[in-house]
Amino acid sequence: MAEVVIVENSAAAGELVADEIARLIARRSDAVLGLATGSTPLPVYAALRNRLAGVDVSHVRGFALDEYVGIDPSHPESYRSVISREVVEPLGLTPSLIHVPNGAEDGIEHAGAEYDAKIRAAGGVDLQILGIGTDGHIGFNEPGSSFASRTRVKTLTVQTREDNARFFDSIDLVPMHCITQGLGTILEARHLVLLAYGEGKAQAVADAVEGPLTAFLPGSAIQLHPHATVVVDEAAASKLK
């Protein structure tokens, strides 16, 4: 079962996880980080700015969880742009060592396998940061995703497009498809750290930690992992038994 840590607020969650990441980088200067986007990991990235000040991070490697399909990489809400803006630039990471799945439509049929091969060649992910969708998705593995799935193209649910419309001028501009690390890919990371805050995530957190293991609750896949930590505030923990 995942270890659940209840913290006061998202800032405290960010500090806790940033500490763990700083310790990892101190042990291994070329650590491989699994990077999530969305709002949840932002306090982690903010706390890391202080934690890593003065630390040589030039060898740190990273793999983003997912990317939209069919938006230009230079679009401000492409996950490539978000990872550059929120992680690579502020932390001073080496851009060529930080990877994001290729969401270009041209060659998309090979992009998943190529991404998995890159992760494998890097020796796997040491610590994977995860958020969770209100519908229980991790990465963009929407309900119905196989626990054995690899990086591939998926269709975003209406719920996820509505949730993410806040990043775009209108819901019609939210892409329909994404390329996401599969649940099987994510489960290969050596440490999973799932964060969630607020009542809106409480059911998804309860399903992930205590729900039945089923493809219809993709977050429940973390129960199969030998080292999964769930960092939540009181509200997100409120439906745990």
Angle at 94 between CA 24 and CA 194, to 5 degrees: 40
Q: Of 16-24, 49-57, 131-139, 151-159, which segment contacts ligand F6R by CB under 6 A?
A: 131-139
Which pair of structure tokens corresponds to residue 204? 């998804």
Phi-psi region of 136 (alpha: psi -120 to 50; beta: other; left: phi over 0): left
Which pair of structure tokens corresponds to residue 195? 């964060």
Distance (Å, whole) CA 141 – CA 180 = 7
Letter string b/e over residues 124-139, b meaning 16 or more CB atoms within 10 A of that residue's CB: ebbbbbbbbbbbbbbb
Taking the complex as a whole, how short is the minimal distance between the CB of residue 31 and ligand F6R, in angstroms? 19
Among 34, 101, 112, 139, binds ligand F6R (CB under 6 A): 139
115 counts as binding ligand F6R under rule CB under 6 A: no
Subset of residues 33 to 52 that bind ligand F6R, contact rule: CB under 6 A = 36-40
Binding residue count for ligand F6R, defined by CB under 6 A: 14
- Nearer Cβ to ligand F6R (61/201): 201
Taking the complex as a whole, how short is the minimal distance between the CB of residue 117 and ligand F6R, in angstroms? 20
Give the residue at shortest CB distance from ligand F6R.
131
- Nearer Cβ to ligand F6R (65/179): 65
62 counts as binding ligand F6R under rule CB under 6 A: no
DSSP H helical ranges for 98-147:
108-121
Q: Of 8-16, 92-100, 132-140, 209-217, which segment contacts ligand F6R by CB under 6 A?
A: 132-140
Q: 106 Cβ partners below 8 Å, 6+ apart?
A: none
**Sites of contact with ligand F6R (CB under 6 A):** 36-40, 65-66, 131-133, 137-140
